[in-house]
Amino acid sequence: MLSAQQSEYLSVADVYELIKPELTCVEKQFLSQIESDVKLVQQIGKYLHLSGGKRIRPALLILSARVLGAECLENVIRMATVVEFLHTATLIHDDIIDDCDVRRGRPSVRSRWGNDIAVLSGDWLYMLAFENSLKERNFEILDILTRVTRQMTEGELIQLELRGRLDITEQEYLEIVHRKTAFLISACCEIGAILASASYREQALMREFGFRIGTAFQLADDLLDFTSSTEKLGKPAANDLREGKITLPLIYLREQAREDVMEKLRCAMNNSDLASNTSRDELLGMVESSGVLVRVRAELSRYAAEAQQLLTSLTDSVYKRALYSISNFIIGREN
């Protein structure tokens, strides 16, 4: 059971207001770091900055450091910016692989400048991230970042290998989720703890908290692909299946589907016009009537609850309540 203090959740707006000074510094550092003598690099960097995003990863790193009493905010700001660079680089490369023309409601980098420039832009951001992380002179942090970068690349390779296959298992799906999303969010929380000079136990706790929150975040994202609109997502709805990616809702649907439903799924996977309302509505109808969305919601709620449970041993504070609140926000994202 949560204490009275823990149950006083903050709104998402309140969470971001709580760490607004730190996030403002992250934005300033983002802009200062993309300054370059190469005009095109600076132009793309500013375009990416204006594209925004929720800054979930920097926010979690900052909160993880704050909840454990971090005093040196300069290091926290630097590493929060680093993880945002890494995340942005992965998005650029993902859009190239997926032939995605829209990201966060705007033309993607590959759509605006072409694949060649997009590849190099992503590489430049990776190098910028590691150049800044070296300033910490902390081999433990460098080890975490190099490992998670490798894991994200491996996750993309696994996903590419399984693309177009309807027989992907839940275990294979979760392996992709962990490598592409959960490990980076886990790293954010662990690095925040390291910067707060936390104990090994607290560091491990925040690492596990981030892993569970990251998994829940991706499950919610996969639900949004079926339950939200293109306008709200900032990218095409029902996009995963169009790209040949089978996510948890469809894995659960496949487990109980009749042959006629399976045939529709096979057709949908090969249908370049899946984004049309008719195809999407038919697919969503099959998913909703089967009850699998309820099952996926239960799974993401379980991961979020496990993450919240890990926080119970931490000293009560407004930052602890903010971490609980982010967990609740993730659960409710697809509503």
Give the domain extent around 85. 12-332
Higher pLDDT, 276 or 164: 164
In a domain? residue 289: yes
Structural domain total, the chain: 1
Is residue 1 scored above 70 in pLDDT? no
Q: What percent of the chain has pLDDT over 90?
A: 64
In a domain? residue 31: yes
In a domain? residue 247: yes
Q: What is the mean pLDDT of the chain?
A: 88
Give residue for tokens 């649907």: 253
The one-letter code for the residue type at 100 is C
Contacts of 88 (CB under 8 A, 6+ apart): 48, 53, 125
In terms of C-beta density within 10 A (0-12 exposed, 13-18 middle, 19 or more buried), how is residue 201 classed? exposed
- Single pTM value for the model: 0.91
46: left (phi over 0), alpha (psi -120 to 50) or beta: alpha
User: Helix or strand or coil: residue 247?
Assistant: coil
Choose among 206, 232, 219: nearest CA to 144. Answer: 206
- CATH label of the domain that carries residue 180: 1.10.600.10
Residue 117: φ, ψ to 5°:
-70, -35
- Here the tokens at position 2 are 């949560």
Opening angle at CA 83, ends 224 and 85, nearest 5? 90
pLDDT in tens, 171-200: 999 999 999 999 999 999 999 999 999 999
Q: How far is CA 100 from the centre of its chain?
A: 17
In a domain? residue 100: yes
> Distance between CA atoms of 104 and 96, rounded to whole angstroms?
15
For 107, other C-beta atoms within 10 Å of its C-beta total 14
In a domain? residue 220: yes
Mean pLDDT score, 82-92: 96
pLDDT in tens, 236-246: 556 677 777 88
